[in-house]
Structure 1
Amino acid sequence: MTTFVARRWAVGTLAALATLAMAPGVQAQAVKTVGVTAIVDHPALDAVRKGVQDELKALGWEEGKNLKLSYQSAQGNSATAGQIARKFVGDKVDVIVAVATPSAQAAVAATKSIPVVFAAVTDPVAAKLVKSWQPSGTNVTGASDALPLAAQIDLLLKVKPGAKRVGYVYSPGEVNSTIVLKELKAELAKRGMTVAEAAAPRTVDIPSAAKSLVGKADVIYTTTDNNVVSAYESMVRVAEEAKLPLVAADTDSVKRGAVAALGMNYYDLGRQTGKIVDRILKGTKAGAIAPEVGAKMSLVVNPGAAEKQGVKLPEALIKEAAEVVK
């Protein structure tokens, strides 16, 4: 009799719990938490974050209902990036989205269990986030903003025909920037061209680094180096004064004064990253998802900036552009 009563009590309790779970106003689905960290705030990285948020919302993840999303910027400080990553680990978030290489490296160093989804990382293998472009089998995956350099150099030569020396300002502490420098040297050498490099360890070093290229370069190429992009207006001032055209890999930089860019659409890269986060929140292991490369590139030109920097863009290039900045 005692066993029979116990069974009836258990069944009744389970039924009551099921009724309660379905009752109006009761949260049936557990709230998932996503921590988003970026090394710094600038238009490209902000666009990635917005893309992630919009994609998650489109896929049914609504903040305040079944999703809690937290964002923190390291303000360009790698030590702060580490603190943010450790805080997210302490908060036991379900997924960490790490935007840009330094933040991704900090997140991967902070946890081997919480899924880490990187975004806007040029070379995740060189950055030691994953061992290859195959599914990692670890807690790490993500979406890269790697660009084909040959097409970038083609654009440089359309902007400045006959250019032989390409200026390159970069942060020596950013793996993505040093990797691009190495690849740029190799690709330019195939065409009988050279790199004039200028290291800028801090954001405040950007203007002097850019000025050091005057007389040494025919055109300046800027990548998605976070320090450089954060201080892009200072690069533009030097370019205008020296009549030295700026060609970017970041399309948002064209609106800020670059002559042209053939680059990743960072909002679309964020949407692509959001799809990966959604799969993980729904149960797929991060290590079962192969790292991806951004799927969409676009050409953006700025004829007005070109004139200020001493060049005139070919009409064919302007017609080819997906966007012409006025």
Structure 2
Amino acid sequence: MKKIIVGVLIIAGMLTGCAKTADKKNVVNIGISQIVEYVALDENRQGFIKALEESGYKDGENMKIDYQNAQGDIAVSQTIAKKFSSEKKDLIFAIGTPAAQGAYNTTKKIPIMISSVTDPVKAELVKSIEKPETNVSGTSDYLPVEKQLDLIKKLVPNAKKIGFIYNTSEVNSEVQLNELKKVAKGYEIIPSGVTSTNEVNSNIASLVKKIDVLYVPTDQLVVSSMPIIAKTTLEAKVPIIAAEKGSVEAGALATVGINYYKLGYQTGKMAAAVLKGEDISKMPIKISDETDVYINEDSLKKLNIEKPSMNNVKYIKTKSE
């Protein structure tokens, strides 16, 4: 009788152990690498997680999320990528070009979903937008510079000199600068490159003396310094036209902006498809076509600019005020 009981207990223990092993195998491990803490990128991440939840992946249940933020340090983003690779995550979500490049340079096997990357081809993450042919896919926040240039013409009609502040090691900012130079016929483009947030204050103080309007691209290092940039430009009565909504919330005058939450949500749906077996190398990069015009009401008043007669305008206030 004792032998039977012991046998039953051993079998029960074996079944329990198998169940635990099965549970572990059923948990999807996802590493999220974000280049810097910033409202647009935070919304990007939130949308991504929401889409995964709606696709049946619950954090703490059948999904484990490891979120790491490089706080604007490219070397740290590379360390994060190596960590995720060594831990053999099931999928990596890289937010921002440096984070995406760090992940791709570290692993060619783990699926990498990207977002807030303006030009994945120029960043050498994929072979083409239509067919990546690598372990990378996701969404791009590319928006034609012409749309922002139209805002400059409507809001700052007398402008002749456009300043452009950017991170010199950010490939997508170089892309946007070259595009601006190409389409801004009749304007003088005055670029100012920085390599760290410590340089932003002095560079912008010098730049505002030479320009009529400042253009701020989707550059993670620069946009994380927007409160400083906005303060200096407003004091100098120089309007900022930005490439995304978060900069307007931080004090820029206006933008034709992408909804970064929706962009992240779209990426999350793509990630769910990859986790369920879809081939990431054949999954086209998606570019959002949903945009709105955002104008900062506080900056409009401080710059003594009248409200424009435009459709689909959303007026917002500076978040810090």
User: Please, what TM-score do these two structures have when normalized by structure 1?
Assistant: 0.88
Q: Find the counterpart in structure 2 of residue 52 from structure 1.
A: 48
C-alpha displacement at 1:90, in angstroms? 0.8
Q: Retained in 1: the 8 A contact 2:126–2:133?
A: no
Query: Is 1:239 paired with 2:268?
Result: no
Residue equivalent to 1:290: 284
User: Deviations along 1:199-250, whole A, 9 cap, x unmatched?
Assistant: 1111011121112222321111111111111111111111111100111111
Tell me how far 1:309 sits from its aligned partner.
3.0
Partner of 2:179: 183
Instruction: Give the paired residue count.
Output: 304
Contact 2:125 2:134 in 1 (8 A): no
Q: Give the alignment of 1:126-141 within 5 angstroms.
A: 126-141=122-137
Q: CA deviation at 1:47?
A: 0.8
CA drift of 1:291 comes to 1.0
Please list every run of 5 or more consecutive structure 2 residues that lacks an aligned counterpart in the other structure: 1-10
Deviations 1:282-301 (A, max 9, x none): 11121020111123212111
> Residue type matched to 1:256 in 2?
A
Q: Partner residue of 1:222?
A: 216
Give distance in 2, aligned partners of 1:136 and 1:94: 19
Distance across 1 between alignment mates of 2:244 and 2:262: 13
Deviations 1:78-135 (A, max 9, x none): 1111110010011111111110000100000000100011110000001100111122
Which of 184, 191, 205 is the aligned partner of 1:197? 191
Deviation, structure 1 residue 159: 1.3
Amino acid in structure 1 at the alignment position of 2:254? A
Q: How does 1:1-326 map to 2 (within 5 A)?
A: 27=23, 30-189=26-185, 192-314=186-308, 316-317=309-310, 320-325=312-317
Q: What is the DSSP-based 3-state SS (H/G/I as helix, E as strand, rest coil) of the residue aligned with 1:127?
A: coil
One-letter amino acid of the counterpart of residue 152, structure 1 = Q
Contact 1:29–1:66 under 8 Å retained in 2: no
One-letter identity of the residue aligned with 2:160:
K
Aligned pair in 2 of structure 1 residues 292, 128: CA closer, same or farther (>3 Å)? same
8 Å CA contact retained: 1:300, 1:325? no
CA apart distance, 1:28: 9.6
Mapped to 2, the partners of 1:123 and 1:185 lie a distance apart of 17
Q: State the 1:29 CA deviation.
A: 7.4
Describe the SS at the equivalent of 2:243. strand
Deviation at 1:302, TM superposition (A): 1.3
* Corresponding residue for residue 9 of structure 1: none
Contact 1:244 1:310 survives alignment (8 Å): no
The separation in 2 between residues aligned to 1:295 and 1:183, in whole angstroms, is 19
Aligned twin of 1:4: none
| Identical residues among aligned pairs (%) | 38
Task: Give me the CA root mean square deviation.
Answer: 2.1
Q: Secondary structure at the match of 1:212?
A: helix
